Every structure is written in structure tokens, then in C-alpha cells.
């Protein structure tokens, strides 16, 4: 297909596809889908090899957000039955982060619900960053705290933060339909503040909110112009109790096309599959690894994710490898820009070939939550993040599956009807589960 050959050539040269080319990717047929994945996969492998970066969310403060983001379970007026708690103490957050790091994560994303941090909140998060870095040499820390005021990004950088996440979420033309308590320009301003402070910027989107193909192409082109080091792609989890609870617009095939379009438009940045991958990609998650080079490990902000061990098995079975702490995530030309992700890791990775590494230790792969402020995970959360204590097992114990047949008192077993299988195209509400473990609870996390 001429379109795909053109897009691969442009991706290898870091040339921006036209809007028409990006729209054409979204319009491809199911028959052409594997060709689309293969083409975008060539671009992914050129810049990132077969490495997959693991990120771990720690939800520092959950719920009770004053903003009205329609997609968020932590929003003002949300009736979603999520965990609600105030700030974790630095030692609690560090303990939570340790579980994800033990599971293979190299970046910790610290998220807090709310419009934006007060100066006291920045002090609190700075102490948390110090606690995590003191106990985990080489760990990357990304903060996701909402809209930043003047000077706050600089204070976070001085405290040791490597990156800051704040998502654009959707196109500028439709932003007012999703949120009214702040503007698209407010979000852009915060990403600029992070850049200017020397933080690696992370900014992404949420797909599945009822937007058009044009909206998706608009926001991804806007992200290309902002030039973040990482772009988290969230797929809406339609939480009951939120205005978008009935927006079940995605199929696994649609999600793969969106990820392919993002890779073509942003060929040399860390593309992260964030919230909603388990709900919408389902059994096609391994194919998505040919498009994205980064995922979240374990649970999200307010929703449960796939078991951490299942993530690791999936990566290995698909022929990929977990990116190590000593590897730089971003390609050399980005990591050497100074401020970009992996700038200081590049120095440690002496002579790493172009495209061999990437972000490594100073990447701004923020979170990517699709919650309110935006870490990059959209696990039903508000801003971003989910957590876990140190000594936690790699996976939370799975409940024992109920047998399909229950024994009758004396004779042949009585058949118990199995649950009806969902039909193709039906909303998969059975896959949406509120997080009840990890940060803010007494239960071991999923990491």
C-alpha cells in the first residue's frame, strides 16, 4: 500500500505526515489492519528496538477533585464508587512505589487529584520525590499534579523530578465539551512550564469520548508541535457515575489504528499505552506492543489493571524485552537535547547507538492518566496514579474460579448455567473494576 510505504519513510526521517495521511490511517479497513501494524512497527523498532518501558502509578491523593472533566471518576459531582483519601505521607508513597520498581518498573508516576498544587503541596511532593530517590538509585520520577503556577515546575525539578505529565486529552475545538472549569490553553501552558523548567514533558490524549477522526488527528498534531518526550494514549474507561458512562465507542481494531497513527505522527517519542488497554484492546494487547514502546504496570488510578505478572509474560511471549534501568529510553538525538527524556542517562550509556535506547533515566514520560489532571493512566482516576507497598507479592492472589458444575447431594452433578458470553461490539462493562488495593488501602498492590 503506497500510503503505508510513504508513512514508514516519513517516520524513519521524522517527517510529519499530512492530516490527510493521518486520517487515512484511521480509515483503513480491518483487512488492512495487520499491514498497518506491521508498517508502524517498522518505525517503532527503528527508534526503540524491541524494548518496552514499564511505568508505575502511585495515586498520592484520590477523589474529591473540584474540576468537572467528564471522563474522570474523581471529578466534581462524580458518583463513581472509587477510593477517596487525602495525601499519602512520603514514606507511604515510597513504600507504594517500591512494589512497582520490584516488578520491573523504571519510572514512578506520582499523581494527585485536584486543579493544581498549592506551594505547600509542592513541598509535600518534593519530600516524597526525595524519599523515593533516596531508597531507589536511578529511578525516574514523574509528577502529575494538575495545572502549575509560576515557579512550581522549577521547584519540582530542583527536588529531583525528572518529568511532568499533563495531557491535552482532546482537540482544542472540542475541549469545552469535555471540561468547563479550565481551558485547553491552560493545559498547553502547563506543558510549556514543564519544558522551560528543564523537566521532560509528557502529554497525551484520551480516545473514545465521542470525538471524530478529525479531533484525534488534531490533538496528535498539536502534541507533535508541543514536542513532549512521551505521549500516553488513554482509551476511555466509561465509569458508571460519570457523564461519559455510556460512551462505548472503541473496538480493539480501532485502538490499534489510533496507536499506529500516533506512532506515525510522533515516530521518535515514547508512546505509552495507558488507561483502558485491558478493557478495549483485550486479547489484542500484544499486537499493540508493535506500536507503543511503553506501558503501565499493574493498576491505574482508580481502576484495576491486568496483573503485573501477566504484563511481564505478555511482553516476553510477544518477543519483546523489558527496558532495563541502565538503558536510555529515547533515541540519541532526543536524549542529548538537554531537558529531554533521558538526557542524563545518555551520558551513562556510553556510545549507545542511535535508536538503541531512549529515555533511560531522565525521561519525562509522565503518566498519561486520563484522569483529571493527567498522569496518563485513565484508570478511572482523576489525575493519575496507583500504588503498592514494598513487600507485596508480584501479583495479588486471584480468586478461585467457581466450577461450572456444582455437585448435587448424592447423584450426578447439577449443571450451573455459565454466564452469558458478551456479544461482539457490546459494551464490556464486565472488564471495568474499581481499584480496591494498593495506595490508600491496607491490601497488597497489583505490581
* Active-site residue set: 65, 69, 72, 109, 142, 202, 272
Give the number of other Cβ atoms within 10 Å of residue 420's Cβ: 6
- Taking the C-alpha atoms of residue 298 and residue 387, their distance in angstroms, rounded to an integer, is 9
CB neighbours (10 Å) of residue 354? 13
Report the candidate in 150, 152, 156, 102 with the shortest Cα–Cα distance to residue 129.
156
How far apart CA 139 and CA 96 sit, in angstroms, is 14
Query: Nearest 5 degrees, angle CA 52-CA 326-CA 234?
Result: 30
Look-up of cell digits 484525534: 216
Q: What's the start-to-end Cα distance of the chain, in Å?
A: 41
Q: Which residues pair with 207 in a beta bridge?
A: 235
Task: Give the DSSP H or E segment for 5.
Answer: helix 2-13
Q: Any residues with CB less than 8 A from the CB of 220 and at least 6 apart, and which?
A: 22, 205, 231, 261, 262, 265, 266
Q: How far apart are CA 330 and CA 53, in angstroms?
A: 11
Q: Is 433 exposed, middle or buried (0-12, 13-18, 19+ CB in 10 A)?
A: middle
CB-neighbour burial class of residue 295 (10 A; exposed 0-12, middle 13-18, buried 19+): buried
Cell triple for residue 343?
538526557
Question: What does residue 186 show for φ and ψ, rounded to 5 degrees?
Answer: -60, -40
Tell me the three cell numbers of residue 120: 505547600
The 10 Å Cβ neighbour count of residue 196 is 12
Question: What is the C-alpha to C-alpha distance for residues 257 and 261, in angstroms, rounded to an integer?
Answer: 6
Please state the φ and ψ torsions of residue 355, each to the nearest 5 degrees. Answer: 80, -10
Amino acid at each position: 500500500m503506497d500510503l503505508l510505504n510513504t508513512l514508514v519513510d516519513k517516520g524513519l526521517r521524522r517527517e510529519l505526515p499530512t492530516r490527510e495521511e493521518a486520517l487515512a490511517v484511521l480509515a483503513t479497513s480491518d483487512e488492512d489492519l495487520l499491514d498497518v501494524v506491521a508498517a508502524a512497527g517498522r518505525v517503532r523498532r527503528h527508534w526503540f528496538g524491541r524494548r518496552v518501558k514499564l511505568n508505575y502509578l502511585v495515586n498520592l491523593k484520590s477523589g474529591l477533585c473540584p474540576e468537572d472533566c467528564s471522563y474522570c471518576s474523581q471529578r466534581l459531582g462524580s458518583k463513581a464508587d472509587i477510593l477517596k483519601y487525602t495525601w499519602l505521607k512520603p514514606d507511604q508513597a515510597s513504600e507504594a512505589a517500591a512494589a512497582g520498581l520490584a516488578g520491573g518498573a523504571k519510572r514512578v508516576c506520582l499523581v494527585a487529584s485536584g486543579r493544581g498544587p498549592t506551594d505547600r503541596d509542592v513541598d509535600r511532593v518534593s519530600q516524597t520525590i526525595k524519599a523515593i530517590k533516596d531508597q531507589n538509585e536511578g529511578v525516574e520520577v514523574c509528577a502529575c499534579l494538575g495545572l502549575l503556577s509560576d515557579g512550581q515546575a522549577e521547584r519540582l525539578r530542583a527536588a529531583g523530578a525528572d518529568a511532568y505529565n499533563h495531557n491535552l486529552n482532546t482537540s482544542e475545538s472540542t475541549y469545552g465539551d469535555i471540561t468547563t472549569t479550565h481551558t485547553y490553553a491552560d493545559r498547553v501552558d502547563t506543558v510549556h512550564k514543564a519544558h522551560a523548567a528543564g523537566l521532560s514533558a509528557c502529554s497525551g490524549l484520551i480516545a473514545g469520548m465521542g470525538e471524530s477522526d478529525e479531533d484525534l488527528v488534531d490533538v496528535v498534531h498539536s502534541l507533535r508541535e508541543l514536542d513532549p518526550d512521551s505521549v500516553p494514549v488513554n482509551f476511555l474507561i466509561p465509569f458508571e457515575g460519570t457523564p461519559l458512562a455510556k460512551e462505548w465507542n472503541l473496538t480493539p481494531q480501532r485502538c490499534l489504528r489510533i496507536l499506529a497513527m500516533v506512532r506515525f505522527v510522533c515516530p521518535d517519542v515514547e508512546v505509552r499505552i495507558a488507561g483502558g488497554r485491558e478493557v478495549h484492546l483485550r486479547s489484542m494487547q500484544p499486537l499493540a506492543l508493535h506500536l507503543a514502546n511503553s506501558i503501565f504496570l499493574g493498576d491505574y488510578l482508580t481502576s484495576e489493571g491486568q496483573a503485573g505478572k501477566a504484563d511481564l509474560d505478555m511482553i516476553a511471549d510477544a518477543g519483546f524485552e523489558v527496558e532495563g534501568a541502565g538503558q536510555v529510553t529515547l533515541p540519541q538525538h532526543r536524549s542529548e537535547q538537554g531537558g529531554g527524556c533521558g538526557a542524563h542517562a545518555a551520558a551513562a550509556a556510553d556510545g549507545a547507538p542511535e535508536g538503541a535506547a531512549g529515555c533511560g533515566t531522565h525521561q519525562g514520560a509522565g503518566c498519561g492518566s486520563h484522569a483529571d489532571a493527567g498522569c496518563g493512566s485513565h484508570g478511572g482516576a482523576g489525575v493519575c496514579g496507583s500504588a503498592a507497598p514494598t513487600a507485596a507479592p508480584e501479583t495479588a492472589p486471584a480468586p478461585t474460579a467457581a466450577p461450572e458444575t456444582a455437585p448435587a447431594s448424592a447423584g450426578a452433578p447439577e449443571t450451573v448455567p455459565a454466564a452469558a458470553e458478551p456479544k461482539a461490539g457490546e459494551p464490556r462493562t464486565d472488564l471495568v473494576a474499581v481499584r480496591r488495593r494498593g495506595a490508600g488501602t491496607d491490601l497488597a498492590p497489583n505490581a
